[in-house]
Amino acid sequence: MNRQEKERLSETGHTMLLLLASLIWGAAFVAQSVGAEYVGAYTFLAGRSWIAVAFLLPVGLIHEKRKNDREGQKSREERKPQRRMLVISSLICGIFLFAASAAQQVGIAYTTTAKSGFLTAMYVVIVPILSVFLGHRPGWKLWLCIAMSVMGLYLLCIQGKVAISFGDGITLLSALLFSFQIMTINHFAPKVSGIWLSLGQFLVEAVLSTVFMLMIEHPVLSNLRAAGIAILYAGVMSSGVGYTLQIIGQRKLKPSVASIAMCMESVFSALAGWVILHQTLTPREIAGCAMMFTAIILSQILV
C-alpha cells in the first residue's frame, strides 16, 4: 500500500468518526427539543456542559496516565507550551461552541425540530465559503457534493413554503457560529490532545452558560428533574462523546469535507424517528436521505 492509499484510508476512517458523531447528534435534536419544554436554553446548556466535564475528566486522566506510561512523563518546562496552547484553544473553541449552542437551543424553542436540523446544517455551505477567505479554494467537485447535501437536507427537512421566523433566524445564526467552531477545531485539533481540548471547551461553555443562567433564568428543581434524561443524554453522548469524536475526526480532513459528514446529523435524526418512534418517511424524505448519503460517498471518492 503506497502513501497516497494510506492517506485515503486514514481520511475514510476519520470520516467514519464524524459520521458516528453525527449519529449521536441526530438523536440529540430530540433531547434538545424535549429539554426546551421544561428549562431555558442556558439552564439546559449549563447542565449538559457540566455533565460533559464530569464525564471527560476521568477519561482524560486515564488517557494521560497511559500516555505517560508509554512515552514517559515530560518535565514541567516541556509541558508548558502544550498547556498554554490547550488553554488558548479551549477558550476560543469554547466561546464559539457556547455562542452556537445557545443560539441553537434558543431557536429550537421557536421552530420545528426538522427545520432546526436543516438550518443548523447550513454550516455545510458556510464553512467552504469561510475557507476561501483563509486561502483554501474548494474545487468544483467539492461544491457539487455540497450542493447535493443542501438539496438532500431541503428534501428531508422542509415541507411547503419557506418562511424565516424569529426562531429560524436565530438558528441560522447558530449555523454561522458552528462554522467558526468547526474552523477553529480544524486549526487546533492537530496541536493538542483531543480529549483535553473537548474537556476544555466544555468547561468554558459550562462557566459561561452558568453565568447567563443565573443572570437571565430561574431554573426550578421540578423542571430540571423533568428534563433530566434529555440533559443527561446531551451531556454524556452528544457533548462528551460526540464532540470528542469531532475533534479527533477533523484532524485528517479538510473542514469543508468534514462539514459534509457532520451535516448527516439531520439524516440520522429522521432515521432514528423511523426506527425507534415508528415515524413514517415519505418518498421525498427518503430521496433526501439518499442524496445526502451519495454526497458523502462522492466526497470520499472525488475530493
Give tens-digit pLDDT for 156-191: 777 666 566 777 788 889 989 999 999 999 889 888
Q: Which amino acid, one-letter code, is at 266?
A: S
In this predicted structure, the answer to whether residue 21 has a pLDDT above a threshold of 70 is yes
What span, in angstroms and rounded, lies between the C-alpha atoms of 49 and 240?
8
Give tens-digit pLDDT for 109-165: 777 666 777 777 788 888 888 887 777 777 778 888 888 888 887 887 776 665 667
- pLDDT confidence of 210, banded at 50, 70, 90? very high
Q: Mention every residue, 6+ apart, whose C-beta is less than 8 A from residue 62.
A: none
Burial of 7 (0-12, 13-18, 19+ CB in 10 A): exposed
Enclosing H/E stretch for 241: none
Lowest-confidence pick of 29-33, 187-191, 243-247, 275-279: 275-279
Q: What is the 3-state secondary structure (H, E, C) of 118-166?
A: HHHCCHHHHHHHHHHHCCCCCCHHHHHHHHHHHHHHHHHHCCCCCCCCH
Q: Which amino acid, one-letter code, is at 147?
A: A
